[in-house]
């Protein structure tokens, strides 16, 4: 579902890498700040796997600790754009979109697409918004991979790259996709993925989505963060469940495996990247191993890239770069200032 804070960009006859043409591409997005006279101060932000384009503006923004007036990503200086990925569930074209041939949601029949389609759609958006060469592309988690991909695909379109908790090569396989899809197959009303209108039945998709999200939030470190901030076990359970329920009413079960499938075999060509790059990983991350940072940076340096690695010391795992943003905000600010 599109967030109330989002706008929608549309583009006719968008051809996917599979060769299928979407009659109308929809891309949900949000912006902060003002584009300057020479259109040179825009920053594109790329969100994570199950996230949305609401990166800032209030405490619901997934990067609100970094993004805003006077913050590391200073919206008094920069015009910041964050779009929802193709195939996601926050207002962009994806499985929950209406298939014009049937008048019903595509569901599992949404056409095959890839990470290249994601960034091509973003490229159309920033062109439509009048952005020139980007000040930077900054992405978190899955968006961190898209950041590497942006640098390799459009090497002259930005002056800086900041992948956060992301990888230069995605290692996902069709087995991962099948595993994610399989967890819904016993849900009431699943109907091969055409579950729309039946999601709230007992034993249905919504219950499974809540259960899945609670596990993800726990694994990503939210419970530890709440505990360290003085919450009791009962309060932690309530807060995590409330967050999971909110997400489960917004997201699409088909998007969970379609987004994974889109990343199979996706790798950014390090030899094509030109812009200075800051690779940021957390030392407690169980999703992206911090040990991947130094060899990635050395690979980039071997191709002449001005690359640096920053390790965040945080107990909050994959969400540490956002929850403990104060530990590295000055590093990000300095990097952006030295790549004018």
Shared domain check, 273 and 251:
no
Residue 70: which region, alpha, beta or left (left: phi > 0; alpha: psi -120 to 50)?
left
Confirm whether 24 is domain-assigned. Answer: yes
- Tell me how many domains the chain contains: 2
Q: Which residues of 140-157 are buried (b: 16+ CB within 10 A; e: fewer)?
A: bbbbbbbbbbbbbbbbeb
Confirm whether 127 is domain-assigned. Answer: yes
d(CA 138, CA 71): 15
Shared domain check, 242 and 279:
no
- pTM: predicted TM-score of the whole model, two decimal places: 0.96
Domain that holds residue 58: 7-174+267-338
Selecting among 255, 285, 310, 324, the annotated active-site residue is 285
3-state helix/strand/coil string of the chain: CCCCCCEEEEEEEEECCCCCEEEEEEEEEEEECCCCCCCCCEEEEECCCCCCCCCCCCCCCCCCCCEECCCCEECCCCEEEEECCCCCCCCCCCCCCEECCCCEECHHHCCCCCHHHHHHHHHHHHHHCCCCCECEEEEECHHHHHHHHHHHHCCCCECCEEEECCCCECCCCHHHHHHHHHCCCCCECCHHHCCCCCCCCCCEHHHHHHHHHHHHHHHCCHHHHHHHCCCCHHHHHHHHHHHHHHHHCCCCHHHHHHHHHHCCCCECCHHHCCCCEEEEEECCCCCCCHHHHHHHHHHHHHCCCCEEEEEECCCCHHHHHHHCHHHCHHHHHHHHHHCC
Query: In this structure, what token pair is assigned to residue 323?
Result: 């929850």
Shared domain check, 17 and 121:
yes
Shared domain check, 272 and 250:
no
- Residue where a domain stops, chosen among 214, 229, 259: 259
Residue 226, domain CATH: 1.10.1740
| pLDDT at 143 (0 to 100) | 98
Neighbours of 228 (CB within 10 A): 12
| pLDDT at 219 (0 to 100) | 87
Q: Is 303 a catalytic residue?
A: no
Shared domain check, 100 and 53:
yes
Query: In this structure, what token pair is assigned to residue 224?
Result: 């530890």
Shared domain check, 140 and 55:
yes
| pLDDT at 340 (0 to 100) | 85
Q: Is 302 a catalytic residue?
A: no
Confirm whether 1 is domain-assigned. Answer: no
- Residue where a domain stops, chosen among 238, 259, 280: 259
Shared domain check, 181 and 167:
no
| pLDDT at 154 (0 to 100) | 98
| pLDDT at 237 (0 to 100) | 95
How confident is the chain (340 residues) per 10-residue block, as mean pLDDT?
96 97 97 98 97 96 98 98 97 96 96 98 98 98 98 98 98 95 96 96 96 92 92 95 96 96 98 98 97 98 98 96 97 95
Shared domain check, 293 and 237:
no
Confirm whether 275 is domain-assigned. Answer: yes
Based on the number of CB atoms within 10 Å of its own CB, is 315 exposed (0-12), middle (13-18) or buried (19 or more)? middle
- Residue where a domain stops, chosen among 211, 238, 259: 259
Based on the number of CB atoms within 10 Å of its own CB, is 234 exposed (0-12), middle (13-18) or buried (19 or more)? exposed
Shared domain check, 185 and 159:
no
| pLDDT at 167 (0 to 100) | 98
Selecting among 52, 92, 318, 324, the annotated active-site residue is 318
Q: Is 285 a catalytic residue?
A: yes
| pLDDT at 117 (0 to 100) | 98
Selecting among 141, 255, 266, 284, the annotated active-site residue is 141
Residue 77, domain CATH: 3.40.50.1820
Shared domain check, 326 and 244:
no
Shared domain check, 226 and 128:
no
| pLDDT at 333 (0 to 100) | 98
């Amino acid at each position: 579902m599109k967030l109330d804070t989002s706008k929608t960009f549309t583009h006719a006859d968008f051809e996917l890498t599979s060769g299928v043409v979407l009659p109308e591409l929809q891309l949900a997005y949000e912006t902060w700040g003002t584009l300057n006279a020479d259109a040179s101060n825009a920053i594109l932000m790329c969100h994570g796997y199950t996230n949305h384009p609401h990166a800032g503006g209030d405490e619901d923004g997934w990067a609100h600790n970094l993004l805003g007036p006077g913050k590391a990503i200073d919206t008094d200086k920069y015009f910041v754009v964050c779009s929802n990925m193709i195939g996601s569930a926050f207002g962009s074209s994806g499985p929950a979109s209406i298939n014009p041939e049937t008048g019903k949601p595509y569901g599992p029949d949404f056409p095959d697409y890839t990470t290249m389609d994601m960034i091509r759609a973003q490229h159309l958006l920033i062109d439509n918004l009048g952005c020139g060469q980007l000040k930077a592309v900054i992405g978190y988690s899955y968006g961190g991979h898209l950041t590497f991909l942006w640098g390799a695909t459009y090497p002259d379109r930005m002056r800086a790259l900041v992948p956060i908790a992301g990888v230069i090569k995605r290692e996902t396989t069709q087995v991962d996709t099948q595993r994610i899809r399989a967890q819904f197959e016993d849900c009431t009303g699943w109907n091969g993925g055409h579950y729309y209108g039946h999601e709230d039945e007992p034993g249905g998709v919504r219950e499974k989505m809540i259960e899945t999200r609670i596990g993800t939030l726990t694994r990503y470190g939210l419970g530890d963060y709440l505990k360290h901030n003085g919450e009791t076990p009962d309060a932690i359970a309530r807060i995590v469940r409330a967050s999971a329920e909110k997400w489960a009413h917004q997201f699409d079960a088909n998007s969970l495996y379609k987004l994974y499938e889109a990343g199979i075999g996706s790798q950014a060509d390090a030899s094509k990247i030109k812009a200075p790059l800051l690779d940021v990983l957390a030392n407690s991350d169980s999703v992206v191993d911090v040990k991947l940072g130094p060899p990635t940076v050395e690979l980039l340096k071997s191709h002449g890239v001005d690359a640096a690695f920053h390790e965040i010391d945080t107990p909050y795992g994959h969400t540490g770069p956002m929850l403990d943003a104060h530990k590295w905000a000055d590093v990000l600010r300095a990097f952006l200032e030295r790549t004018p």
